[in-house]
Structures are given as C-alpha cells and as structure tokens.
Amino acid sequence: MDSWIPTVMYSLGAIGLFGITLLPLRGYSLLRRWSLPLWQASIAGKLLLTVTVVLVLGALVFEFQLLSRVFNCLLGERCGPKRASGLGFTAAIGFWYLCFEAARLVIVLLARWLIGTGARPNNSFKPTPLRGAA
C-alpha cells in the first residue's frame, strides 16, 4: 500500500454515509433520554443539558451544510477540482459524526455521574415487582 490517506478517506466516507442518517437519530435519542433527568438535576446538569443541545444543533448544522454540498456534487455539473470532492464531503460528515459520538459518550458519562443510577425513572413497559403486574 502506497499511502494510508486513501484508506482513511474511504473509511471516513463509509462512516459518513451511515452518519448522514445516524447523526440526527442519535442526537434525538440523546436529547430524549437525558433532557428531563438533566433538567431536574443541579445547575451543573442544566449546564450539561445546554451543552448537549448546542452540540446536537451544531452537529446538525455542520451535517446539513456538508450534505448540501454532496447533493450539489450529485446533481450539479461541477462540484470541486477533482472527481473525489463528493467523497471528501462525505468523509467530512464521517469525521464530524465520529467527533459527535465521542462528545456524546463524554456527555452520557457526565450525566450518569451527575444524576446517579438510582434517580432515572423506569420507563419500561414490563411489570416489575415494585410496580406490580396490573
């Protein structure tokens, strides 16, 4: 193999193709799962919720900006100086998706540390001995 750069570009491009769909879904699930427990936590929890909302909105803005460039490459006559410009934009989406997942992991770990495991409500539909078997 001559260089590792094409391998990284193709790998990030493949991750970017999945990230186009996964980033909005993961952002929605992050906000849905942790917004209420963090809002009911201390000031640090509210600050972490604000950082989470800014992270999700910022990631969506970056993704839609890059996604519009990918669509321009697919639908337009010219998209960049080389044929692989569309792959470069998709690789950029993959890079931002990996950054989002790393930040999401840190947020989830901080949220678990701030809230604790016993403070989260049980949202399961299965009956438990504590909730009774209707």
- Between CA 95 and CA 12 the distance in angstroms is 6
pLDDT digits (tens, 9 = 90+) for 96-128: 999 999 999 998 888 888 876 544 555 556 666
Tokens standing for residue 127? 């009956």
Q: Rg for the chain (alpha carbons), in Å?
A: 20
Query: Does residue 131 lie in a domain region?
Result: no
Task: State the residue range of the domain holding 31.
Answer: 5-115
Note the pTM of the prediction, 2 decimals: 0.75
Query: Does residue 69 lie in a domain region?
Result: yes
Mean pLDDT within 3-30: 89
Query: Does residue 127 lie in a domain region?
Result: no
Query: Does residue 27 lie in a domain region?
Result: yes
Q: For the residues of 60-120, what is the DSSP string, one character each?
A: HHHHHHHHHHHHHHHHSS--SSSTTHHHHHHHHHHHHHHHHHHHHHHHHHHHHHHH-SSSS
Query: Does residue 125 lie in a domain region?
Result: no
